Structure 1
Amino acid sequence: MPIITTRGIIYTIKRGDTLFSIANQFGSNIAAIERANYLFPPVTDQGLIFPGDELVIPTSTNSPIMRYIVASGDTLTGMANVYNSFVDLIAGVNNIDNPNLIYVDQPLMVPAFAYKIVNGDTLFAISRRFGVSVSAIEEANANRPGFQRDVIWPDYHLIIPIPTSRNIFVTKPLPSSTISSGQRLEGYARVFEAVVNYQLRDTNGVIVTNERFAMTNEGAPAYGFFSTGIPFDRAPTASSGELWVYSRSAKDGSIQDLVKIKVNF
């Protein structure tokens, strides 16, 4: 079954907001917001919202990587905890010079995407599929209406944190993507001499793509963007595997900042 990901924004409801005003603000529509957050009985009266709750707002943005709209009282430390990431990474990929200075209504890229739940899903199965712990998924969705650990609703847009290291954030492919030779690898990295390494392994331990490197457009201390193709050096011997993205130590060549992304073939 294909994985259905959606594009969206994470927004904290303010006093005086209505679904109509929120939909207009982000170019969405009321019905889509209701479905994405399951604003129906038995969760709530249809369309009823409360200040402080977080909504996923479906949008037509180009990237599946989610944007979080800063709310009053937010800090990068809090966001890093919610999305199982790091303050300096979130600051770096959003070009924030002072991590203690963010603004209400500022849109920030966060390491997460939205997955549309289908019949038969469980949080445990979803966590295994994407290589993310149940507790991390719970934390990312804790302030949302309609989210419960034991009952999840079809068509609900579940926020899935993307695995990162302190210095590497892979934006493409998303976890559990089906990939083939030539697949684009994209992301951000704070790495020595602007070099980020990658390789691809299947679950039998076969190295499908030998170690290669890509160059970021800026070297450390900046988080530079990188984009490259992933050629297959040999055919996979299993239906799934892991994409490894990392740097190597300038001292001894050891692997550092390893990020593992689950993939399918």
Structure 2
Amino acid sequence: MTIVFKKNYIYTVRRGDTLYSIARRFGSTVEAIERANHLFEPVTDPGLIFPGDVLVVPSLSKTGKVTYVVKSGDTISHIAARFSTFIDLVSGINKLENPDLIFPDQQLIVPAFIYEIQSGDTLSAISRRFGVSLSKIQKANQDRPGFKLDLIWPEFYLLIPLPTSVNIVVWDPLPGMKVRNGQRIEGNARAFEANVLHQIRDDNGVIVSNERFTTADAGAPEYGNFTNTLPFDRTPTTNNGELWVYTRSPKDGSIQDLVRIKIYF
């Protein structure tokens, strides 16, 4: 499994763009852009791009979140829909004062990660591995010249939306990752009194890590950053499980804003 942790940009080609100009702008290389988007035959003549093509542009930064570059005519609603998430969440994690006011070339963090396709992969297997539906993967990769439902290419950078609620996104661990005792957890949450809860369950329903809470660095209505660790209280009885991250209702204590992330032990 190859998750790409380096910073990547999602860029829509404009008239007059070349791979060289795009690479210079985002600190990448022509070769890296070609590989990440499979800009080779039979998809296209090598390096050929057209206005409207959506490219993943790898940067040289060692770490960083997936960043969407706003194009002319975009709205937060459109961007949120592409990644199967919520207007409030995209606005909140980017600290937008007015979600109705975004502009071309603005850079916005989006709840997604990148998987580098390996030989023998299929989209259905990738969907099962990460617990993300095929329709959501298809929507995130629409208008990318190298993306097809029936044929995928090794080394292609596949955009995979993160599971979110309207108030919570988890950046670490990512879906499909192997989780160990003491694993770090990190995310953003809009939570009453900034309280965020989490637990781990295996596929038999055994609670491997008991419910614990952490406090974000800001409470609602802000989206604060939260971190904590995930100690194991019991030995997993299966190889697979889920990380649950959520809040509880101040009225009746019921679980709210539940985000479920597929993990492995």
Give the shorter-chain TM-score range.
over 0.9
* Counterpart position of 1:154: 154
Distance 1:62 1:250, change over 3 A: farther
1:6 shift after superposition: 4.4
Asked if structure 2 preserves the Cα contact closer than 8 Å seen for 1:5 and 1:64, the reply is no
Q: How does 1:17-28 map to 2 (within 5 A)?
A: 17-28=17-28
- Counterpart in 1 of 2:91? 91
Residue 196 (structure 1) aligned with residue 215 (structure 2): no
Partner SS for 1:210: strand
Q: 1:64 to 1:263 in 2, by over 3 A?
A: farther
Q: Residues of 2 paired with 1:143 and 1:205: CA distance?
A: 40
Aligned to 2:2: 3
Question: 2:161 and 2:64 mapped to 1: Cα distance?
Answer: 12
* Equivalent pair of 1:217/1:224 in contact (CA under 8 Å): yes
Measure the CA separation in 2 of the matches of 1:10 and 1:105.
Answer: 11
Q: Are 1:188 and 1:224, in contact at CA under 8 Å, matched by a contact in 2?
A: yes
Shift of 1:186: 0.5
Greater alpha carbon shift after TM alignment, 147-156 vs 53-62: 53-62
The within-5 A match list for 1:178-217 is 178-217=178-217
In structure 2, distance between residues paired with 1:224 and 1:136? 26
Contact 1:194–1:224 (CA<8 Å) still a contact in 2? yes
> What TM-score do you get using the length of structure 2 for normalisation?
0.97
Report the alpha carbon displacement of residue 62 of structure 1 after superposing the two structures with TM: 4.6
Q: Give per-residue Cα distances to partners, 1:57-95, cap 9 Å, x unaligned.
A: 111335453100111111000011100000010000000
Instruction: Structure 1 unaligned segments of length 5 or more: list them.
Output: none
Name the SS of the counterpart of 1:178 in structure 2.
coil
Distance 2:262 2:4 in 1: 15
1:157 and 1:105 mapped to 2: Cα distance?
Answer: 22
Equivalences for residues 1-265 of structure 1 within 5 A? 2-7=1-6, 8-265=8-265
Q: CA deviation at 1:4?
A: 3.2
Give yes or no for contact 2:94–2:109 (8 Å, CA) kept in 1: yes
**How far has the Cα of 1:104 moved from its partner?**
1.0
- Contiguous gaps of at least 5 residues in structure 2: none
Instruction: Please list the CA deviations of residues 165-213 of structure 1 after superposition, one character each: whole Å capped at 9, or x if unmatched.
Output: 0000111111001110111100100011100000001111111100000
Q: Give the Cα–Cα distance (whole angstroms) in 1 for the partners of residues 160 and 211 of structure 2.
A: 28
Contact 1:6–1:115, Cα closer than 8 Å, also in 2: no
Alpha-carbon distance in structure 2 between the residues aligned to 1:141 and 1:236: 35
Conserved 8 A contact 2:118-2:155: yes
- Measured after TM superposition, the shift of residue 119 of structure 1 is 1.2
Shift of 1:38: 0.2
Whole-angstrom CA distance in 2 between matches of 1:245 and 1:212: 10
Deviations 1:97-133 (A, max 9, x none): 1110011111100000110001111111111111111
Q: Is the 8 A contact 1:64 1:113 kept in 2?
A: no
Whole-angstrom CA distance in 1 between matches of 2:63 and 2:102: 22
Q: Find the residue that maps to 2:201 and give its secondary structure.
A: strand
- Judge conservation of contact 1:122–1:152 (CA < 8 Å) in 2: yes
Matched residues, number: 264
8 Å CA contact retained: 2:2, 2:117:
no
Report Cα offsets for 1:16-36 as digits up to 9, x if no partner: 111111111111111110000
- One-letter identity of the residue aligned with 1:4: I
Letter in 1 for 2:205: G
- Report the 3-state secondary structure (helix = DSSP H, G, I; strand = E; otherwise coil) of the residue aligned with 1:259: strand
| 8 Å CA contact retained: 2:5, 2:62 | no
- d(CA) in 1 for partners of 2:67, 2:9: 5
